[in-house]
Structure 1
Amino acid sequence: MSSTLYAAGRAARQSGDLQGLIDAVPYARFLGIRSAAPESSALLQLPFREGLVGNPALPAIHGGVTAAFMENAALLCLLLRLDVLRMPKSVDFAIDYLRSGRPLTLYADAEISRVGSRVAHVSVRCWQDQVQQPIALARGHFLLEPAPESA
């Protein structure tokens, strides 16, 4: 898995096609995450489908789905921006839910705030209609395994 993921990350950096990297991550593929912008942007989308609803009375997208989408956005951002051999390991991931996710497509972008020799800090914003009105914000630390120099 790690060599496939490493190759997909390299290909995404070279071609600007993030979808190949997304498809190399089984859970991202399972969730149905799509690239929302070309040219190696870390902007992602999770198209709405009924199976994502956690509270049919509102209806609202399940908070766990939102969290999984945001954590995947952070991981994919790390895989796209950094030359890492294996999937980064989550050290901690905290989410602030700001409002309910309506039955619409979710969008997320992630930004690497700091990269140390072994740990990276990533911030993620998730929204639906307007980027200025996020439904959730997250921050996480991830343990990295840098690729060897000769890879």
Structure 2
Amino acid sequence: MSDVLDFIPYARFLGVAVDRANGALECVLPFRQEIIGNVMLPAIHGGVLGAFLELTAILRLIDESGTDKVPKPINFAIDYLRSAGPATTRARADIFKLGRRVAVVHVIAWQDDPSRPVASGNGKFLL
């Protein structure tokens, strides 16, 4: 999976890593000062969270399907549920449908507790 992360420029920029310690593919976004959007709170920029959610969905699809092509987003909707503070953020994706041409994926991101997500995303991808 690290070769896929190296291939995607914004994955390299964000420093995203993959963790399989809990038995499922989880993506890890390490905190860095450069990803802060609101310095008054401080909070991670919404664009960074959105890119992280979409990347998590793409990596899960690559892992599940075994394809060597990067799935292309058809649409991706994000719900920002609470402020993501200056901490490591984790995300996990569930595939609702994996067809021959299209996949439907749901992603959640959290910081300290998976039952208190900071954001979620739903997307359709062309395989």
TM-score range, shorter chain: over 0.9
Root-mean-square deviation (CA), in Å? Answer: 1.6
State the aligned residue count.
Answer: 127
User: Post-superposition shift, 1:50?
Assistant: 0.2
Structure 1 letter corresponding to 2:103: A
1:92-134 Cα distance to aligned partner (Å, 9 max, x none): 0001110010000110001111012210001100000000000
Pick from 71, 88, 93 the counterpart of residue 110 of structure 1: 93
Report the Cα distance in structure 1 between the residues aligned to 2:22 and 2:40, rounded to whole angstroms: 39
Q: 1:21 maps to which residue?
A: 4
User: Post-superposition shift, 1:140?
Assistant: 0.2
Q: Mark the runs of 5 or more structure 2 residues left unpaired by the alignment.
A: none
User: Post-superposition shift, 1:38?
Assistant: 4.3
- 1:70 paired with 2:68, answer no
- After the TM superposition, which segments of 4 or more aligned residues of structure 1 sit over 2 Å from their partners? 18-27, 36-41
When Rg is computed on C-alpha atoms for both structures, the one with the higher figure is 1
Q: 1:15 maps to which residue?
A: none
Report if the CA contact (8 A) 1:40-1:80 is conserved.
no
More strand by share: 2
Could you tell me the TM-score, scaled by structure 1's length?
0.78
Could you tell me the TM-score, scaled by structure 2's length?
0.92
Report the Cα distance in structure 2 between the residues aligned to 1:24 and 1:38, rounded to whole angstroms: 23
Report sequence identity in percent: 46
1:11-62 Cα distance to aligned partner (Å, 9 max, x none): xxxxxxx334323333212211012334973201100000010000010000
Report the Cα distance in structure 2 between the residues aligned to 1:139 and 1:121, rounded to whole angstroms: 7
Q: 2:33 maps to which residue?
A: 50
Q: Mark the runs of 5 or more structure 1 residues left unpaired by the alignment.
A: 1-17, 145-151
Superposition pairs of residues 96-135 of structure 1, within 5 angstroms: 96-135=79-118
Q: 1:141 maps to which residue?
A: 124
